[in-house]
Amino acid sequence: MTLPPDWRSLQILLAAIDCGSVTRAAGRCGIAVSAAAKRIQELEAELGVRLLDRAARGVTPTPEGEVLARHARAMFAFGDRLADDLRAVAGGGLGRVRLAATMSVVAGHPLPQALAAFGHARPGIEIELIESTSLTILSELVEGRADLGIITIGTALPEGLTGRPWGRDRLLAVVPDGHPLAGRGGPGREGIGLGELLREPLIEIIEGGAITLLLNDMAERAGLNPRAAFRVATVDSAIRMVAAGQGVAVIPDGVFDIFSPALGLVGVAIAEPWAHRRLRLVGRAPAMLPPAARLLHDHLASLSEAD
């Protein structure tokens, strides 16, 4: 097995990429400029590739340098997690796990209850919950800044990650009671199609989020153009805009149940296959996870809502 480059040389390379200069990288790392340059040159010779493009105004990473930098950052993040785990064990605990999940997973599914049960059974394991979008979660996992994630998009997983079904939800078009579409909601109603939905002014939630990307993709495939009335950062803001009659929001059914009683809103089913989403529990292969993360993975997997 080929040994990875030494940590000090990787640290200097990352500093050079971040600073855009070997000279400034040397200052950051507390090493002579000539020694820093030599370290990077030896790293290039060892790997047989050029890692930096050098110019009068500084340095930029080559494609090979970007690949190495991405893996190096993951290695340093793993080292930080190892240090955290060792400190936790020394303090009488059993480790720390970073779990990333989307807002709709946290608010619309029994994840909080699952974490509470895990904390009761494993009081020595500290869990850091990170709320983010699905694409950002995948990036966090690849770069080693999270151990596990629960996502709502069906995209192919990056190399090195595995996923398993964890839950389901259904997307609803949310309108005020009395809206022309409101009569299409409720049990046993047929719901609405994509064309009907896109004729309405939409309240988009977190531009670049999973639902916005999904709607834009489905509209493009159908040759339709979504009409965004407003773009807001949170579901709460979107719901209040809907209640004020400013447009229609698309949100998961579990999240809708939180808001509907107080604001007099109606959730109308979207009668499209893509409106039925499968959630996934994602991370590195369980055998590759730190012990604490593997225990949480197994706990969450045992509580999967998807059969």
7 φ/ψ angles, rounded to the nearest 5 degrees: -65, -40
pLDDT tens by residue, 18-30: 999 999 999 999 9
CA dist 194 and 199 (Å) reads 9
CATH number for position 12: 1.10.10.10
> Which residue reads 């005020």 in tokens?
176
> Which residue reads 């340098």 in tokens?
65
Domain range enclosing 174: 169-276
* Pick from 247, 176, 171, 159: nearest CA to 213: 171
> Are 64 and 29 within one domain?
yes
Q: Which pLDDT belongs to residue 82?
A: 75
Q: How confident is the prediction along the chain (307 residues), in pLDDT tens digits per residue?
A: 455 678 899 999 999 999 999 999 999 999 999 999 999 999 999 999 999 999 988 999 999 999 999 988 888 887 877 777 677 665 545 788 999 999 889 999 999 999 999 999 888 888 999 999 899 999 999 988 999 999 998 889 998 899 999 999 999 999 998 898 987 765 556 789 999 999 999 999 875 578 888 898 999 999 998 888 898 988 889 999 999 999 999 999 988 888 766 788 999 999 999 999 999 999 999 888 888 899 999 999 998 764 4
Last residue of a domain, one of 18, 45, 71: 71
Last residue of a domain, one of 31, 52, 71: 71
CA dist 204 and 235 (Å) reads 9
CA dist 2 and 12 (Å) reads 21
> Are 250 and 282 within one domain?
no
> Are 35 and 178 within one domain?
no
**Is position 1 within any domain?**
no
> Are 150 and 174 within one domain?
no
> Are 282 and 196 within one domain?
no
> Are 107 and 233 within one domain?
no
Last residue of a domain, one of 71, 106, 122: 71
3-class secondary-structure state, position 51: coil
For every residue of 33-48, which 3-state class applies, written as one string?
A: HHHHHHHHHHHHHHHC
241 φ/ψ angles, rounded to the nearest 5 degrees: -65, -40
Q: In the chain, how many domains are there?
A: 3
> Are 159 and 284 within one domain?
yes
Q: Which pLDDT belongs to residue 307?
A: 43
**Is position 307 within any domain?**
no
Q: Are 158 and 149 in contact (CB under 8 A)?
A: no
Ranges of H-type helices in the chain: 7-19, 22-29, 33-47, 63-90, 103-108, 111-121, 134-142, 194-198, 210-222, 235-243, 253-263, 291-302
CA dist 168 and 150 (Å) reads 12
Q: Which pLDDT belongs to residue 306?
A: 45
Q: Which pTM was predicted?
A: 0.70
**Is position 162 within any domain?**
yes
> Are 151 and 243 within one domain?
no
* Pick from 194, 213, 193: nearest CA to 204: 213
Which whole-number Å values give the CA distances from 49 to 2, 45, 65, in the listed order? 16, 7, 8
CATH number for position 188: 3.40.190.10
Task: Report residue 142 CA to chain centroid gap.
Answer: 10
Which whole-number Å values give the CA distances from 281 to 3, 147, 168, 293, in the listed order? 31, 11, 12, 12
Structure tokens at 234: 């949170």
Q: Are 159 and 91 in contact (CB under 8 A)?
A: no
> Are 156 and 199 within one domain?
no
**Is position 252 within any domain?**
yes
3-class secondary-structure state, position 90: helix
**Is position 85 within any domain?**
yes
**Is position 287 within any domain?**
yes
**Is position 2 within any domain?**
no
pLDDT tens by residue, 146-164: 999 999 988 899 988 999 9
> Are 62 and 108 within one domain?
no
What is the chain's alpha carbon radius of gyration, rounded to the nearest angstrom? 24
> Are 146 and 293 within one domain?
yes
Q: Which pLDDT belongs to residue 1?
A: 41
**Is position 216 within any domain?**
yes
> Are 30 and 149 within one domain?
no
